[in-house]
Structure 1
Amino acid sequence: MPIRNIAIGNPQEATHPDTLKAGLAEFISTFIFVFAGSGSSIAYNKLTNDGAATPSGLISAAIAHAFALFVAVSVGANISGGHVNPAVTFGAFVGGNITLLRGIVYIIAQLLGSIVASLLLVFATGLSVPAFSLSAGVGVGPALVLEIVLTFGLVYTVYATAVDPKKGNIGIIAPIAIGFIVGANILVGGAFTGASMNPAVSFGPAVVSWSWSNHWIYWAGPLIGGGLAGLIYEVVFISHTHEQLPTTDY
């Protein structure tokens, strides 16, 4: 059971050079992802003079986020595992694949990467960074469920293609599979909640624009969905041995 593998870690781990390097990698990967993803939204607003959302705009956002996440995961995979998402980090912790202290370093780095990317977007474009919010007519309950389900699919994909020790050659396509599921999920949920699936992606724009309407959904939904995916995949599908998976694998 993964509960046996869950570990707090020791204080020295949080300041160990390898952990700090991994944290820096998470900062850079999240920066790349948010800068491209949120930047594509800013570009759309500029081209349409802040016009209404359209199907083509949704498709463009899905493609931009899929491409950017593919790259962000790829460049961080060999250093930190390329989480790029506190929900992924939390799912890895629940499954016993990362310690709590190392996970906290990752999450802090991810949040800072998102904030810096959002600030630089404002500086470079002179325009505001759109914050995540619920579309008109979307209730809090359905929005929460949607974010849970979308993030479950994302973190389940991460486990299946990147964490599972039986992944074999499929691990080679892990970054593109992760990018694809995010792009597909945006096509599903973008018109309702913005399809965040990532507290860091929501946090940076919220800080810079100081817009916190229903922001808790973009934490609760992804963390619940990511935690469930990590728990279910670890319990049901990963064959356990007496040796714990190295925490640096993902």
Structure 2
Amino acid sequence: MTEGTMELGDVGTSLMASDSKKAPVKPPNKFERLVQPCLAELVGTMFFVFIGCVSVIENVEAAGRLQPALVHGLAVAVMVACMAEISGSHFNPPFTIAIYLCGGMKLNMVGPYLISQLIGGVLGASMSKLMTTTENYSKAQGAAFALLQSQDQLWGALFGEIAMTCLVTMVVLLGAVNAKSSSPMVPFMVGCTVIINILAGGDVSGTCLNPARALGPAIVANYWTYHWVYWVGPITGGLVAAALVRLLLGDRKTRILMK
């Protein structure tokens, strides 16, 4: 063996030794596994609901649905991008339920996530009341979903909440949970889906798609007319999306039929 070869061998050995000395990545501790994700869900939902409610309360009439559509969609995109590595960025009970049903999280975290999201919704709605004028707040019913006023509107609104929540939940599942179709563009995809849903269905149901977004303003403004629609519709839509992915659209790991 020549001297030059020995020198190259020594360099290679030195590089390998240097790599081996890197500190191993520590597994998440109990706080990072259990507490921090719930805090992220609470804070993320709080700011989403806060910004969303303010956009409705202070909506300029000339802007129509465009202002709340853009605000809700962009707020979702930003919060999902920020919190994805902490909690998965659900911020919505139907998302959490559907993600669990498709194998994307453990059962022991489902309840804490749901509670965190609902508390975050109430806090966000309270923040919007502190920020806005009494006149604007009252006129907008605190950004509660006050569009439904008669039985004639009910079934169309309920179907709209089911179908539109199914769509956005399917985007979440296929973009973030299903390995075959997962994409780093998920924050953008979810935000865009929220925007198009509000633009399409805002005059039919108000386009809630999220019980946490409905509950906060309902409690703070004490407005409960047809409130159940904004629980039954989104949760049903989330379950339909989970069934589609779990039974038909998912990859072999996610799908339970026709593997």
Compute the TM-score of the two structures, normalised by the length of structure 1: 0.81
Structure 2 unaligned residues grouped into runs of 5+:
1-29, 255-259
Distance of 2:116 and 2:172 partners within structure 1:
20
Q: Which of 95, 104, 110 lines up with 1:88 in the alignment?
A: 95
Task: Measure how far apart 1:237 and its partner are.
Answer: 2.3
1:119 is aligned to 2:123: no
Task: Measure how far apart 1:19 and its partner are.
Answer: 2.1
1:41 is aligned to 2:48: no
Residues 118 and 215, structure 2, Cα contact 8 Å, conserved in 1: yes
Residues 89 and 106, structure 1, Cα contact 8 Å, conserved in 2: yes
Distance of 2:130 and 2:253 partners within structure 1:
51
Distance of 1:126 and 1:193 partners within structure 2:
25
1:22 is aligned to 2:34: no
Task: Measure how far apart 1:68 and its partner are.
Answer: 0.5
Distance of 1:96 and 1:144 partners within structure 2:
28
Amino acid at match of 2:196: A
Distance of 1:107 and 1:216 partners within structure 2:
17
Distance of 2:123 and 2:148 partners within structure 1:
26
Task: Measure how far apart 1:236 and its partner are.
Answer: 1.4
1:186 is aligned to 2:201: no
1:78 counterpart SS class: helix
Distance of 1:136 and 1:217 partners within structure 2:
12
Partner of 1:240: 252
Distance of 2:218 and 2:194 partners within structure 1:
20
Q: Which of 69, 78, 88 lines up with 1:62 in the alignment?
A: 69
Structure 1 residues 75-132: Cα deviation after superposition (integer angstroms, max 9, x where no partner): 1110111011101111112223223331111111111111111111111224332211
Normalized per residue, the structure richer in helix is 2
- Bigger radius of gyration among the two: 2
1:134 counterpart SS class: coil
Compute the TM-score of the two structures, normalised by the length of structure 2: 0.79
Distance of 1:229 and 1:147 partners within structure 2:
13
Superposition pairs of residues 1-250 of structure 1, within 5 angstroms: 17=31, 18-44=33-59, 56-127=63-134, 128=137, 129-136=142-149, 138-167=152-181, 171-241=183-253
Residues 134 and 143, structure 1, Cα contact 8 Å, conserved in 2: no
Distance of 1:172 and 1:189 partners within structure 2:
27
Amino acid at match of 1:225: G
Amino acid at match of 2:215: F
Task: Measure how far apart 1:133 and its partner are.
Answer: 2.7
Distance of 1:42 and 1:214 partners within structure 2:
20
Higher relative CO (Cα under 8 Å, sequence separation at least 6) belongs to 1
Residues 103, 57 of structure 1: CA spacing in aligned structure 2 closer, same or farther, 3 A cutoff?
same
Residues 51 and 128, structure 2, Cα contact 8 Å, conserved in 1: no
Residues 135 and 191, structure 1, Cα contact 8 Å, conserved in 2: no
Structure 1 residues 134-168: Cα deviation after superposition (integer angstroms, max 9, x where no partner): 34565222211110000000001111211111235
Runs of 4+ in 1 over 6 A off after TM superposition: none
2:184 counterpart SS class: helix
Distance of 1:97 and 1:241 partners within structure 2:
11
Distance of 2:85 and 2:71 partners within structure 1:
23
